[in-house]
Amino acid sequence: MEFEAKNGHLMWDGCDTVTLAEKFGTPLYVFSQTMIEEKCQELKRDFVDKYKNVRVAFASKAFSTLAMLKIIQKQGFSLDVVSDGELYTAIKAAFSGEHIEMNGNNKSLEELEMALDYGVGRIIVDSLQEVDLIAGIAKEKQKVVDILFRITPEVNVQTHSFISTGQKDSKFGIPIDESILFPQIQHAIERPEVNFLGFHFHVGSQLFDNQSHLAAVEIALDLVKMVRERFDYTIKELNFGGGFGVRYTEADQPKPFSYFTDPMMEKVLAFCQKEHFPQPAVVIEPGRSIVAEAGISLHRIGAIKELPGLRKYVSIDGGMTDNIRPGLYEAKYTGVLANKAESAPAEKVTVSGKACESTDILVKDIELPTVETGDLFATFSTGAYGYSMASNYNKLAIPEVVLTKEGQAEIIVKRQTLDQIIQNEVVPGFLK
């Protein structure tokens, strides 16, 4: 992985990571605002400014904090949320309701009421009961709600099965089945409380090939044509999800956003011209691809255990509680000793976490300079699904989050205290 070093230390957006660890403590998430904005500028140049009637909605599940949402809003992007917590964060960040779309396969009554009260711009319908649920709330509140149907396009994807979502056997989406989808469409068209706009799909995550996206686009466009023929109804919006791959290790070869968006838009525009169809709005939902590589995690090396002829374990002061992905679906990472960033590799070690689980292994068999207790290990590409999936397993505190910008660094999430870990716990009267 390419990185900048100065005086033997890893630098991140103009900041010395060793200094950051000394100032803020470890474990520590560090995000580069500069790198986030560079990804946003790429999306603007190659998608938003290149095509008419398109927009980007940041998938906030990747990294949802008040500061992050401020960055996204300043870029002029929309926001994708999937829960009351993510929506509440958006509300507290004063994110415009009309630029929020709400996803989720099991939205509660309370979440939908919250969404309607705040005036979210879109609700993505993901279950067979949801249209009536939304319509009932909308009728009570005397509102009309814009909706899309999330479909399962049944395409093959080259990714881990745990992050593949476009297949028929998925908890997400409505299957493209004659007896299932079309009655739902007709029902949505007929209900005055909802305004049926079109279709949404998300085929999977961490994809480096565009073929599954393109196949899903063709399926969605076929549906657009069928809806017009069957219901005399014009689809106004298509959402093609996200899932664009990023670099975690040297083996990953991510593509520019245009590798996905250009051929998808070519298909849409060709379809509209051939079928004399007005161009629908086109939305994409990148999350990981905006923030993953902009984030690193800093951990202090503690215990070191060498098993002659087998392995050398070096333990960090965090692990699966601040990065569950390696234990959850064998995600691969790499990193460096931040305080020895310019030193040559001298040994092969396995970086392990401190949680009481054998699967709490961050990086297996990584070549590093000679590792000593007190060294600082930096894991690359932890900007997505690190902080957002962090837990208090073993009663470990969730780390601090720092945002850097051209040599400046400020806290955007304070380190959780031990009191905060147990703040919601109570002892019932019969145990006192």
Catalytic machinery residues: 356
CB distance 90 to 103 below 8 Å: no
Which amino acid would we find at residue 137? I
Neighbours of 389 (CB within 10 A): 16
Here the tokens at position 171 are: 């908890």
Residue 428: cis peptide before it, omega within 30 degrees of 0 = no
CA distances, 230 to each of 186, 224, 401 (Å)? 9, 10, 52
Q: Which helix (H) or strand (E) holds 413?
A: strand 408-413
Tokens read off for 138: 């909308």
Q: Could you identify the residue written with the tokens 């997505």?
A: 384
Q: At what angle do helices 211-231 and 257-275 cross, to 10 degrees?
A: 30
Q: Report which residue type is found at 423.
A: Q
DSSP 238-264: EE----B---SSTT--PPPHHHHHHHH
Angstrom distance (rounded) from CA 163 to CA 124: 19
Contact in structure between 76 and 54 (CB atoms under 8 Å): no
List, in order, residues 6 or more apart from 176 with CB less than 8 Å away: 151, 152, 153, 154, 219, 223
Q: Which pairs with CB-CB distance under 8 Å and at least 24 residues apart come from 210-214?
A: 210/255, 210/259, 210/260, 210/263, 210/264, 212/155, 212/156, 212/157, 212/158, 212/166, 213/240, 213/243, 213/260, 213/264, 214/263, 214/264, 214/267
Residues paired with 100 in a beta bridge: 79
Token duo for residue 102? 């709400």
The answer to whether the CB of 135 falls within 8 A of the CB of 112 is no
What are the C-alpha distances in Å from 283 to residues 43, 54, 176, 254?
12, 6, 20, 21
